């Protein structure tokens, strides 16, 4: 009973659950304590907790459970999380998926902060953010133990509560000018890490060997990690999901001269203090090695001229081989030929392939988009779709009446409703007003935008409304022209892109992390350049990913890109390869002009309206085919958009317990 006696009831979000799982937890804990005696000399397990879980998706049945340990070696503290072997609770999660999330011997010198979450209902969890700006997925403590974990960390590292957010504990915190400068951009700094792309070290290996390899083998992070260590994120007390979109969309291009000066100052300090990157061995590292720091390495030297390395894939030649020419848009006769006599689409894959290579004629989009978004099932009949439209129209009216029935007196006592309504009303009058469809004062279509977004904030009350959603809804309403149909198509789209606006920002984090790993796989010189110039967080691609390139193209070409992405023909993550295709087209300019983060951010924003859509789609197709299974393995499971396109909303049934 020793393990249960150590539980602090005030620390357990679900004490009953811990009692139910106590027996298995005790068995694992006892065996692990026995095995700890076999640790190498000088290594001590100072904290161990079983049944600590990671959730790759929103469904509780798909969690991956494992053992969390804090290991002391000399004066250094390391954290590991190893998933249990042979878990069979969910056949959809492969052993590769579990290994992807393994956390192997991360030194706390690489950790920036630990955020503790204590929800009213559910289990406590922590998010560990690294100095590089990367973050591990949330670690859920199903049997309690967060308090003991933090107490143990505090015994062996400098841990202080953030003055700006009581839930954030800063590890080895050092204030510096760069942190204050970057806070003016008000951009979130954590990118979620699926850690199978880490150093190859088995669960039974000695940590001392890994640590020795880190010291002898150089580092991936180097001084870039040191810079990120000094770039503390400023947290706000208000709704972080709303802050996320507001900050990115309104302040993304506010690059300051002070930031550039401070960055240069830090590089000079790094040079004089002897911190930096030893890059002599980095080119031998695989994309599956995890960022690490070393205690003492050669002084960093800022090159006077960065030579532009050649493109290892020679994307132009690659596109000639694998990037097929674009076709004319899908026309009316072709569209009708896909249906049988009862209205079922006979070959959905062939249809999606056709749209992938040519898009859809504008006059057909009202009919085709509901299928691409998953609102209508491909195998539904005319009669079934007609019935669905009728049922959904009635359901939408019920949802709409919920917010319309709120009186002025009620609204005074309903802060969340007032805040969301105010933000929506401010956003819709600024959304796509250059289009005649939304132009002019008292435009009824602007009012429809407002009504649909308010209805969605009640339909999905947990997510609510975040700035950027109006950008995603606007083209749908422009095409569908019907309030109810637009609402349900928007709901279908948000099933895929909703995680972009989640409070924990995990959807964006996982996509930016996957983007970094794909660049590392497909263009290692460009990856190394971004690493040297403190750009591995890929925040300069944030707007692209958040609203699916909405601001980068004129309206019709943007809609053409969207319907190509919605086909999920080659990959549901084609948008990430599209990002890489753009970067590779401008790699010569980026590297040749030695762009730092601020300059690159400004350059990327100024590309709006200057990207060749057809050529970039061909490049993206070629890169996706070239990456193959290695590319798919670089993307963490559940990374948005992850909803299958073959299933319509009417027929979708989820048997999983939703968190």
Number of domains into which the chain is organized? 4
Residues 6+ apart with CB under 8 A from 491: 375, 456, 459, 460, 649
Indicate if 448 and 493 belong to the same structural domain: yes
pLDDT for the residue 84: 87
Q: Does the residue 313 lie in any domain?
A: no
Percent of the chain with pLDDT over 70: 65
Confirm whether 460 is domain-assigned. yes
As a whole-number percent, the residues of the chain with pLDDT over 90 amount to: 49
**CATH number assigned to the domain comprising residue 515:** 1.10.472.80
Confidence at residue 109, expressed as pLDDT on a 0 to 100 scale:
87
Residue 535's closest CA among 167, 191, 247, 295? Answer: 191
- Shared domain check, 495 and 554: no
Do 69 and 165 reside in the same domain of the chain?
A: yes
464 with 436, same domain: the answer is yes
370 shares its domain with 399: no
- Report yes or no on 337 lying in a domain: yes
- Write down the pLDDT at residue 121: 63
Task: Determine how β-strand 111-117 pairs with β-strand 103-107.
Answer: unpaired
Q: What is the CATH number of the domain that holds 163?
A: 2.30.29.230
Element counts in the chain: helices (H) and strands (E): 28, 11
Q: Are 422 and 239 in contact (CB under 8 A)?
A: no
pLDDT in tens, 264-296: 343 333 333 333 333 333 333 333 333 333 333
Residues 357 and 390 in one domain: no
CA nearest neighbour of 140 among 156, 124, 120, 128:
124
Q: What is the domain-level CATH number for residue 408? A: 1.10.8.270
> Residue 350: pLDDT above 90?
yes
Sequence-separated (6 or more) residues with CB below 8 Å from residue 296: 274
Both ends of the chain: CA-CA distance in Å?
A: 30
Q: How much is the pLDDT for 655?
A: 36
When the pLDDT of each residue in the chain is averaged and rounded to a whole number, the result is 75
Using one digit for the tens of pLDDT, what is the confidence trace for 296-342? Answer: 323 333 344 455 767 666 666 666 666 788 899 999 999 999 999 99
Last residue of a domain, one of 468, 500, 532: 500
pLDDT value at residue 39: 54
Q: Is residue 545 part of a domain?
A: yes
- Which of 383, 349, 651, 344 shows the shortest CA–CA distance to 492? 651
Owning domain of residue 551: 506-634
Residue 75's CB: how many other CB atoms inside 10 A?
Answer: 6
Buried b (16+ CB within 10 A) or exposed e, 93-122: beeebbbbbbbbbbbbbbbbbbbbbeeeee
Which of 380, 406, 437 is the endpoint of a domain? 380
Containing H/E element for 156? helix 146-156
Provide mean pLDDT across the span 536-556: 94
Residues 624, 593: Cα–Cα separation, whole Å: 28
Q: What is the pLDDT of residues 164-215, one digit of tens each?
A: 788 888 987 644 444 433 333 333 333 344 443 333 333 344 343 333 333 3
Last residue of a domain, which of 175, 195, 216?
175
Residue 468's φ and ψ, nearest 5 degrees, are: 115, -30
> Would you state the structure tokens that stand for residue 233, as one six-digit string?
């994120």
48 and 144 co-located in one domain: yes
| Closest C-alpha to 146, from 129, 164, 163, 128 | 128
């Amino acid at each position: 009973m020793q393990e249960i006696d150590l539980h602090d009831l005030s620390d357990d979000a679900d004490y009953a659950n811990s009692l139910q799982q106590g027996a298995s937890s005790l068995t694992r804990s006892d065996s692990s304590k026995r095995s700890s005696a076999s640790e190498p000399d000088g290594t001590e397990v100072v904290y161990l907790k079983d049944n600590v879980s990671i959730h790759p998706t929103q469904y509780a049945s798909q969690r991956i459970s494992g053992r969390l340990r804090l290991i002391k070696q000399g004066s250094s503290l390391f954290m590991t999380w190893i998933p249990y072997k042979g878990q069979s609770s969910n056949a959809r999660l492969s052993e590769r998926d579990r290994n992807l999330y393994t956390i192997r011997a991360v030194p706390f010198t690489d950790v920036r902060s630990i955020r503790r979450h204590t929800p009213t209902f559910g289990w406590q969890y922590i998010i560990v953010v690294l100095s590089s700006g990367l973050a591990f997925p949330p670690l859920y403590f199903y049997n309690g133990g967060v308090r003991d974990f933090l107490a143990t960390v505090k015994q062996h590292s400098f841990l202080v509560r953030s003055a700006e957010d009581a839930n954030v504990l800063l590890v080895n915190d050092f204030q510096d000018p760069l942190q204050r400068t970057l806070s003016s951009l008000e951009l979130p700094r954590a990118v979620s890490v699926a850690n199978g792309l880490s150093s190859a070290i088995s669960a039974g290996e000695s940590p001392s060997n890994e640590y020795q390899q880190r010291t002898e083998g150089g580092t991936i992070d180097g001084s870039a990690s040191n810079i990120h260590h000094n770039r503390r994120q400023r947290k706000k007390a208000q709704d972080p999901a709303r802050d996320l979109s507001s900050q990115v969309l309104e302040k993304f291009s506010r690059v300051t001269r002070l930031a550039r000066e401070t960055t240069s100052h830090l590089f000079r300090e790094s040079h004089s203090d002897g911190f930096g990157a030893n890059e002599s061995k980095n080119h031998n590292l695989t994309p599956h090695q995890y960022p690490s720091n070393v205690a003492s390495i050669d002084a960093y030297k800022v090159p006077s001229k960065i030579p532009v390395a050649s493109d290892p894939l020679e994307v132009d030649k690659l596109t000639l081989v694998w990037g097929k020419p674009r076709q004319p848009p899908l026309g009316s006769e072709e569209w009708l030929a896909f249906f049988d006599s009862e209205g079922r689409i006979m070959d959905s894959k062939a249809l999606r392939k056709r749209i992938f290579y040519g898009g859809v004629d504008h006059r057909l989009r009202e009919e085709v988009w509901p299928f691409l978004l998953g609102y209508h099932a491909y195998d539904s009949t005319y009669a079934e779709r007609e019935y669905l439209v009728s049922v959904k129209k009635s359901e939408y009216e019920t949802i709409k009446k919920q917010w319309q029935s709120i009186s002025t007196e009620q609204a005074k006592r309903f802060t969340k409703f007032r805040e969301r309504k105010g933000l929506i009303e401010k956003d819709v009058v600024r959304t796509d007003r250059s289009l005649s469809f939304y132009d002019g004062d008292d435009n009824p279509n602007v009012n429809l935008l407002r009504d649909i977004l308010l209805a969605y904030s009640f339909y999905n009350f947990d997510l609510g409304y975040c700035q950027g959603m109006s950008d995603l809804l606007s083209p749908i309403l422009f095409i569908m022209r019907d309030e109810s149909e637009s609402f349900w198509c928007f709901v279908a789209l948000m099933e895929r892109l909703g995680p972009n606006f989640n409070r924990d920002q995990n959807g964006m984090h996982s996509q930016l992390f996957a983007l970094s790993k794909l660049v590392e796989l497909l263009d290692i010189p460009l990856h190394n350049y971004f690493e040297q110039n403190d750009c591995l967080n890929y925040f300069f691609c944030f707007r692209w990913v958040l609203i699916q390139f909405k601001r980068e193209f004129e309206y019709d070409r943007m809609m053409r890109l969207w319907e190509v992405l919605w086909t999920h023909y080659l990959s549901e993550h084609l948008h990430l390869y599209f990002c890489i295709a753009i970067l590779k087209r401008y790699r010569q300019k980026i590297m040749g002009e030695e762009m730092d983060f601020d300059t690159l951010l400004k350059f990327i924003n100024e590309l709006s309206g200057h990207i060749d859509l057809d050529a970039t789609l061909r490049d993206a197709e070629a890169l996706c085919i070239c990456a193959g299974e290695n590319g798919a393995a670089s993307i963490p499971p559940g990374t948005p958009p992850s909803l299958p396109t073959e299933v319509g909303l009417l027929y979708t049934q989820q048997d999983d317990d939703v968190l």
